[in-house]
Structure 1
Amino acid sequence: MRTRLAIKFHGMLERHLPERRVFLKSDTDTRFIRLRPETQLIAFAGAGLLVCWTILATAILLMDSIGAGNFREQAKRDQSTYQARLHDLSAQRDSRASEALAAQERFNAALDQISVMQSQLLESETRRHELETGIDVIQKTLRTTMEDRETARKALAELRDGVGENEAGTVLAGKDGGAPVDFLSEALARTAAERDQVVADAQEALVQADELSLEIALMKENNNQIFRQLEEAMTISVAPLDKMFKAAGLPPQRILDQVRRGYSGQGGPLTPLSFSSRGEELSPDFTRANRLLEQMDTLNLYRIAAEKAPFALPVKKAFRFTSEYGFRRDPKTGGRRMHRGVDFAAPAGTDLFATADGVVIHAGWQSGYGRLVKIQHEFGIETRYAHLSKIRVKVGQRVSRGEHIGDMGASGRVTGVHLHYEVRVGGKAVNPMIYIKAAKDVF
């Protein structure tokens, strides 16, 4: 069966691919190569496969070339879009920086105004107490004068009654009896003069009382205006700070309690008003003033807390963001990897600054980070500044916000000059932009 099929297949090949001989002739000999139909079929098949492979490879190369060209064009477009976006972000950053500077100036002006208003308020309260005391004295004097006037009137009436009853006896008394009459006349004249003086004093006291009442009313209105301005200033100053700490994930009340424990000394201009000249309960104005002083104390605590948290940028000169916080393509291996900070690119040697008050806990080389500075802040916050070209602080040194701590470089595992900036809370990395964005409308 197999022989028959082979014979039939060979015959079919003979019809289409007859046997051929290739003669090879030399000077002394002639030889030939016989090409059987099966050999020709194999040769044709191999040639066809070679041609197909060549066509397929050419098509793949062309497609790769076209795809690579499209990819490069897309990459260029993405790069230009990204650069435009970076320029916009840089412009927004500059705008925010100027706005923050203006807000800081307004904040300082508000604090100065609050201090002046506080002094005016205390002086006004003191003056009001003096006026109230003066009015009490005038009212007591007026009551005493009115009582004296009534006593004088009664005495005058009794004298008149006595003169009426003894008038005949006095006239009959003759020349020697004129002395009592003169005495009575003088007494009546003095009583009348005292009465007139009492009436004049009473009228003058009433006028002074009206003037003092008007002055007190004006003073109260002035105090109310001062209170309103102070309350508005406190609202404008405290609310953004409260919002900033909440946006950064820091519970404001817990932060204020922690700062208050560290600054627990008493006294100073923010001591609550509690004095009273007569041991009475505090007036509504005193209660209102104490509430404002509490808000001022809260504002001061917020100011202290804000200096101890990293609400600032580590780079003050022109820069651009080159990598955000989160998962990204590793620039070295190409794999997907978590990036636990943000990258700021600027020229080599650019000054870098601490973003909050704290203590340097590391200043040296660390694998991957290169030259690294770690600063420990309050509230369990730590900041890291990596890939520096030069470190300008040492371990144990206490630094303040805005203090120069190093220069930007390319040490460690990098592809170029930049700063890798990290913020860690309780040892866990968080997005530094949370703190930077939280403070953009305050500082």
Structure 2
Amino acid sequence: MRPQQSAVFGKRKEPHTIIIARGDRIRHFTVRPWIAALVGSAVGALAIGYLLATSYLVFRDDLIGATVARQARLQQAYEDRISALRAQLDRVTSRQLLDQQFMQERVGELLERQDQLTKRQSRLDPVLNRAGAELLPENPPVPEPRPKIKAESKPLLDPTTTGSIAVASFAPSQTGSVPWPLRSRSSQKREQLSAADKADYLFVKLNRALETIETDQIDSVRMLADGAYQTADAIAGTLEDVGLTIASDHREQNVGGPLLASTSALVFEDQVRELDEALSHLNQVKAKARRLPLASPAPGAQISSRFGARKDPFLGRLAHHSGIDFRAKRGASIHATGAGTVVKAGWNGGYGRMVEVDHGNGLTTRYAHMSKILVKTGDKVDVGTKVGKVGSSGRSTGPHLHYEVRRSGTALNPARFITAGRKIAKYLKNESGK
């Protein structure tokens, strides 16, 4: 009996039957559609898997090669990047080392120049100490070699090390800003340039300060030398007015020669030598001037009779008065007017008790009509030494001092010497102010 056909979907398909006959034995298999579909799917899957496996085996080397090449490219790029960063770091480090070396050299130059200034000051001290009170008060003092640095400037040297540059000295301020490693390269470069500019500015400023001090030192030494020469000229010029020539100007007025390059140190040494010569010349002039009879023999006393023609108090007629008379009380002190040697001390005719002092170069002074003599022949006297006391001995009408200045025996007007002495008294003061 045949199976009933479906009336819904039309005519029903019969399943396929496979019959296998072998001799007397006959076998048959019924192949249903879903089994055929399952078998086909399995076969298709196997075929696809086979194809995929075959393709993988065929293209595996290419895929592996491409992957290895890509990894090699990535590694090479990474290594190149590392090399570039390392080279950049080396450049930065080298630049920092060069900058540090440059800064150390600059600092060394500044310290060397400052040491030179200090040595110059020590070179000046003996000259100034030797001069002492010989320098005029209006001469400016030589400045100390200490350049002024603003308080906000940071130290060039690290105080904890010797000769090493302090990193913080020129590092830009990071207060309230992005940390240094996180800043952009352009920002870091700008700040590095700014720090270098600040360092250069500070070096230039210090160099200018040291140059100013060097110039001031040289100018001050030159001013001191000129002041010494001017003082000597003033003393000599004043004495020339009374007919005394004790010194000439030792400075070279008309000079010439090839132009030779001279360093600041050589210029300074030349100026110091010039100052030393000027002070020596001034000291010689002062020493000679102090031997001249320029002081008053009776300080504070009034002149009662001047040098020259006058009416003789005894004869009542005109006569030459070879000195000047000072009105003073009996017993008042009489002082030597210059340094010298006593050549006469005793009674001398109309002079009465008289002291005569030889000041050298033919100049002598006489102090007459004394009541008492306080020195003896051969004594050395200085300006202000008491040689006697006022009296009225000899040809005298009353207590007074008769004072004479003579050159080679010829009487000169003592008033001119006293006036010249007053003019140069400020130059002849010694260290004690006398």
* TM-score when normalising by structure 1: 0.49
TM-score (norm 2): 0.50
Structure that is richer in helix per residue:
1
Greater C-alpha radius of gyration: 2
